[in-house]
Amino acid sequence: MSSYNPKNGNNDYTKTTVETANQWVKLTLNLEGADYNKSGNGPLFSIKIGNKADYDLFLDSITFDDAEVPGNGGETGPTNPGEYTIPAEYAAYYAGIDFTKNGMELKAQLASLVTRTHKPQSYTPGIWEASKYTDQDPENSDNVILIYGWTNNEKDIVKRRTMPKSQQSSGGSGRDKVWEREHVFAKSLAVDKSKEQVALHAEGRNGTIPTAIEGIAGHDAHNLRPINGSWNGSRGNKEFVNGSGNSGPKGNYWYPGDEWKGDVARMMMYMHIRYENENGGGYTKATKVGKPIDTKNGTTADEMIDLFLKWNAEDPVSPLEKRRNEYHGGNHQYSQGNRNPFIDNPYLANQIWGMENKYKAANLW
């Protein structure tokens, strides 16, 4: 096989290589920085063969290493959502889902899946032990990462991103110096007296596994994160609201911070579908825990809100979220057994609730 690099001309791509063998030709084009058509409408680029362009070129295949190519999380979504290529490591989990469906049909399928594969865990030691693994600091295995945190300044301990695992709360004083378990969907926000819906319970200590739905939801690992104790107190049961910058109160509401807003959105989407049919319906629906941006048109018929679709689109899935999903979707001592579909593919939110024209998330499949 031979190869060569053509000289750069006015219309040549840089680092172009041509390899020939047995009458086959392989062309590799580096399109970095090139202004080529990625819209999916019209030709991507054209190739001329020979001095007079009088040779036909048979293209066996074209592959792209470009995050903005249609169907790969860029400017346009998949031509057919049912044609997803799901990563092999968890494809079996979604084997029974018909991804050609959209809207409430797809939501119902995913809700059924995450419910029937859910294996509740104890609050103690289950969630404590799982969190020490799932939320481990990749730069220091002795620490956990704290949701809503952002600084590494030793003097501002309440707002630090990490804390030693050994500083797990034991329920005493000095909350600024310990980490606790944050219910991102605050427990009391589930209350709806008109439906006799009560707060989420988190009482499964000494290995007790919950059986009532309030306890199952209160122990749900996909809704629990390590947090500084004092910052947990500051958040309290405030509903989420749009904002920018670091986490903190916004009047009577709470902004999770630019780093955490996508995490929160995907957790709230999971809670929305997981418990939608429990306790009379809408037990942990999005409108209970956040404020829509567009007060007139920002709430869907099933009460998902544009706030979470916006955050899901703006803040990509993090390695921490993937680590958590892999653990809880696995078969480990304290794993929960189900996955958060919106971490595996944020674009599923648009496939269910729409709003692509404003808040289009990455399609990871």
List residues bridging with 26 in a β-sheet. Answer: 19
Q: Which residue has the higher pLDDT, 166 or 37?
A: 166
Burial 34-44 (b: 16+ CB within 10 A, else e): eeeebeeeeee
| Sequence-distant (≥ 6) Cβ neighbours of residue 87 within 8 angstroms | 365
- Residues 93-116: what's their mean pLDDT? 96
pLDDT at 14 over 50: no
Tokens representing 361? Answer: 């998330």
The pLDDT confidence band at residue 40, using thresholds 50, 70 and 90, is very low
> What pLDDT is stored for residue 266 in this prediction?
98
- Residues 223-246: what's their mean pLDDT? 96
Burial 141-176 (b: 16+ CB within 10 A, else e): eebbbbbbbbeeeeeebbbbbbbebebbbeeeeebe
Residue type, 360: K
pLDDT at 25 over 60: no
Q: Which residue has the higher pLDDT, 23 or 118?
A: 118
Sequence-ordered strand ranges (E) for 200-359: 224-228, 248-250, 253-255
Run of H or E including 321: helix 319-328
Domain residue spans of the chain = 1-66, 81-353
Cα torsion at 149, 330, 116, 108 (round to 10°)?
Answer: 60
pLDDT at 6 over 60: no
> What pLDDT is stored for residue 363 in this prediction?
96
pLDDT at 255 over 80: yes
> What pLDDT is stored for residue 173 in this prediction?
75
- Residues 337-341: what's their mean pLDDT? 98
pLDDT at 52 over 60: no
pLDDT at 45 over 80: no
Quick one: what percent of the chain has pLDDT higher than 90? 72
Mean pLDDT score across all residues of the chain: 83
What's this model's pTM, rounded to 2 decimal places? 0.78
Are residues 269 and 286 in contact, defined by beta-carbon separation less than 8 angstroms?
A: yes
| Rounded Cα distance, 87 and 344, in Å | 9
pLDDT 10s digits, 145-196:
999 999 877 777 788 899 999 999 988 778 989 999 999 999 999 999 999 9
Q: How much helix, strand and coil, in percent to the nearest 5, is found in the chain?
A: 30, 15, 55
pLDDT at 32 over 70: no
First-to-last alpha carbon distance for the chain, in angstroms, is 34
CA–centroid distance for 94 within its chain: 16
> What pLDDT is stored for residue 115 in this prediction?
98
> What pLDDT is stored for residue 117 in this prediction?
98
- Residues 95-119: what's their mean pLDDT? 96
Q: What residue spans of 90-168 are helical by DSSP H?
A: 103-116, 128-134
Q: Of 44-58, 150-164, 257-271, 291-305, where does mean pLDDT reach its minimum?
A: 44-58
List residues bridging with 20 in a β-sheet. Answer: 2, 25
| Sequence-distant (≥ 6) Cβ neighbours of residue 172 within 8 angstroms | none
Give the relative orientation of helices 261-274 and 103-116 as an angle to the nearest 10 degrees.
Answer: 80
- Residues 67-79: what's their mean pLDDT? 36
